[in-house]
Structure 1
Amino acid sequence: MSGPQDLYPWLVADVGGSNARFGWVEGPGAPVARLRSYAVQDFPGLEEAVRRYLQDLAVELRAQGRGCPAPRHAAVAVATAVAGDEVVLTNSRWRFSRQALQAALQLQSLRVLNDFEALALSLPRLRADQVRAWGGQLPAAAGCLAVIGPGTGLGVAAVLQTGQGWQALPGEGGHATLAPADDFESALLTHVRGRHAHVSAERLLSGIGLPTLHEAVCAVLGGQAAPEALTPELILERGLAGQDALCERTLDSFCAMLGGFAGSVALTLGARGGVYVGGGIVPRLGEAFFQSRFRERFEAKGRFQSYLAGIPTVLITDTLAAMGGVSLAIEQSLPGAAVVKF
């Protein structure tokens, strides 16, 4: 007679343009464990990277006197839009067929989801040691929760509590038109529109957008182009160190405009359960983020200021948080699966 244990083990993965991260869920109630990361450029495709992970895992388990059973179910988060059988990674040469990968790995099921869909699914189970809440108190997971993520690009997604579990709402909100809140921001956007017909939030509020924002700040404040083209890393380094007034102003504008955008996301989705901030940029700002105008601008929506004042804002500090969402995607698709911890 079969039981919950027969559903395991699970393979979970989070694949970006540069790195592919893998984890393992051994049995009912077990946490996501055996985490390993591999450089995407080192493998011709996802299947080869999975097989390397399974080989390395087998070596690790044998050293502990244990066997390594083949995974029964798997879920993979990918940094691209997911539609149809063929999956093409946005920022790498990897592409794969979902059906072919499932057959090659002899899986009973394979879920493929967008990376921000996975991050959204992680929100209901985030622990206090994985986040830092504005105001210090982690909100209870209920209703609708939203997440925005300034990384290389700008991701936006949400998760909604339903009678059948948590339902992710993936989208492309980072490409929504960015709105200014004052004359200075209007001048910034006017300058950027001189080069780009459409100024999306991602155009300025992302890793690829920081140099564009910096160039606009230099043009508006100094009346000329930036003295040198700076990488996002240099803008962050100089701005946080107080070495460059224009870089400092760039980061100040980044945080303020991100707050305004986050408030718009909260209003659009009715995300009264909280707006979470992921991605790789904001955690690097440290205390500067919590001393910035982010929260002020989050609430600055006129008649709806009191509505937004009651919505928590939370920074995700754990860079592997999405793995919890990937495991939840499997759990919710398998009746009888036990709750996975992360």
Structure 2
Amino acid sequence: MKLALVGDIGGTNARFALWRDEQLESVRVLATADYPGPEAAIRAYLAELGLPLGAVDSVCLACAGPVSGDEFRFTNNHWRLSRAGFCRELQVRELLLINDFSAMALGMTRLREDERVLVCPGEPEANRPCVVIGPGTGLGVGTLLALDDGSWLALPGEGGHVDLPIGSPREAELWQQLYLMLGHVRAEDVLSGNGLLLLYRAICALDGHEARLSSPAEVTAAALNGDEVALGVLEQFCCWLGRAAGNNVLSLGGRGGVYIVGGVVPRFAELFLASGFARSFRDKGVMSAYFEGIPVWLVTAEYPGLMGAGVALQQALGSR
């Protein structure tokens, strides 16, 4: 491959890097609000590095939402692009668009040992799917499969939009409160950054507390400072994440292991490790024994989505 560019584009930030010799170089983070579209952001990125148009031969962009056809509209920011127009404007030969959690899943294949923390001990089973799940702006869910030729297959999906699972009378009461606030209750409605605040408000309404906190960051900070209500919010968040992760393991036969990713959980990693996540992960009645030996890791890598975009590009174009 010649010089390539990879991007991981979210609602607030777009992360770009060069991909050379199967490694990331020159990572930059740009605010999506500062640019009318991805072409303008990439022009600015290349200009900062002193690279002219045409210096990059191929591009892979990891984007939230299903990707197909020539036209793509980003689901969580104002950007949109035409594949043909993008390649023409930036003088790029190849553009690969992939689902953001496909990129995240592929990024797990390049993790160093110091970029993940063991949550549940076990040994991954060869040739079985891995589950990649992560609360961030939304809730992403991906599946990773090792193929016989040594390459990897990431299956895109919209698993964050499944119904929120209920596993106890307390959760049933909370679900009713959330239903009054939202109507249909998705896993993503709770298991996301904004979901932390929604869950806080639901718990306050249910238990008769004054809702004094007004942002996810305030809820996290209050919990880290010992606030009992906020601690209860994070505990319930972790338990629901465990139930959602366990449901995906059962659906996919995910005995290859589970990776917890995204920007939310690492902010309260110690509380997460001490929480009821592991108990809720395995709490499946007659199928609870199925979870024996399935490892779970909390991923702390800084740019796994960018790395996964590079892996996707390498697999798609490396043989050419």
The one of 16, 19, 23 aligned to 2:17: 23
Distance 1:36 1:331 in 2: 20
- TM-score for both structures, normalised by structure 2: 0.93
Name the structure, 1 or 2, with higher relative contact order (CA <8 Å, separation 6+).
2
Q: Which residue in the other structure is 1:54 paired with?
A: 46
Whether the 8 Å CA contact 1:191–1:216 is kept in 2: the answer is yes
Question: In the alignment, is the contact (CA less than 8 A) between 2:107 and 2:306 conserved in 1?
Answer: yes
Shift in alpha-carbon separation, 1:204–1:30, aligned structure 2, 3 A:
closer
Partner residue of 1:43 out of 24, 30, 35: 35
Separation in 1, partners of 2:295, 2:132? 12
- SS of residue paired to 1:253: helix
Matched residue, 1:303: 286
Q: 2:140 maps to what in 1?
A: 155
Distance 1:231 1:325 in 2: 31
Name the structure 1 match of 2:199.
213
The match for 1:240 is 224
Partners of 1:15 and 1:31 in 2: CA distance: 19
Alignment of 1:1-342 (within 5 A): 7-26=1-20, 29-58=21-50, 70-135=55-120, 142-163=127-148, 165-222=151-208, 226-228=210-212, 230-242=214-226, 244-336=227-319
> Whole-Å Cα distance in 2 between the matches of residues 212 and 21 of structure 1?
28
Cα distance in 1, alignment partners of residues 252 and 302 from structure 2: 25
RMSD of aligned C-alpha atoms? 2.1
The offset of 1:170, in angstroms, is 1.0
Query: Which of the pair has more CA radius of gyration?
Result: 1
Cα-to-partner distance string for 1:160-212 (whole Å, 9 max, x where unaligned): 12235211111111110112111111100011112322111111111121122
Contact residue 124 and residue 141 of structure 1 kept, 8 A: no
Q: How far does residue 127 in structure 1 lie from its aligned partner after superposition? A: 1.3
**SS of 1:209 mapped into structure 2:** helix
Which shifted more, 284-293 or 95-104?
95-104
CA distance, structure 1, for counterparts of residue 232 and residue 178 of structure 2: 16
- Say which is worse superposed, 99-108 or 177-186, in terms of deviation: 99-108
Classify the secondary structure of the residue corresponding to 1:81: coil
Question: Which runs of no fewer than 5 residues in structure 2 stay unpaired?
Answer: none
Q: State the one-letter code of the partner of 1:194.
A: L
The DSSP-based 3-state class of the residue aligned with 2:267 is helix
Distance apart, 1:22 and its partner CA: 1.0
Displaced runs of 4 or more, over 6 A: none
Quote the sequence identity (%): 39
For 1:270 and 1:80, locate their aligned partners in 2 and report how far apart those are by CA, in whole Å: 24
What CA distance in whole angstroms lies between the structure 1 residues aligned with 2:139 and 2:168? Answer: 22
- What secondary structure is seen at the aligned counterpart in 1 of 2:194? coil
Offset at residue 279 of structure 1 (A): 1.1
Does the CA-based 8 Å contact 2:4-2:58 persist in structure 1?
yes
Task: State the secondary structure of the residue aligned to 1:35.
Answer: strand
Q: Equivalents in 1 of 2:39, 2:182: separation in Å?
A: 38
**Cα offsets for 1:80-122 (capped at 9, x unmatched):** 3323221112222111111210122222211011211110111
Partner SS, residue 286 of structure 1? helix
1:293-322 Cα deviation digits (max 9, x unpaired):
101111111222221122111111113111
Normalised to the residue count of structure 1, the TM-score between the two structures is: 0.87
Q: Is the 8 A contact 2:22 2:310 kept in 1?
A: no
Contact (CA 8 Å) 2:122, 2:294: kept in 1 or not? no
Maintained 8 Å contact 1:8/1:25: no
Confirm or deny: 8 A CA contact 1:15 1:21 kept in the other structure.
Answer: yes
Q: CA separation of 1:303/1:284 partners in 2, compared to 1, >3 Å: closer, same or farther?
A: same
Aligned residue-pair number = 319
List per-residue Cα deviations over 1:104-160 (Å, max 9, x = no partner): 222221101121111011112211122112257885875311111111111111111
- CA 73–208 in structure 1, closer or farther in 2 if over 3 Å, else same: same
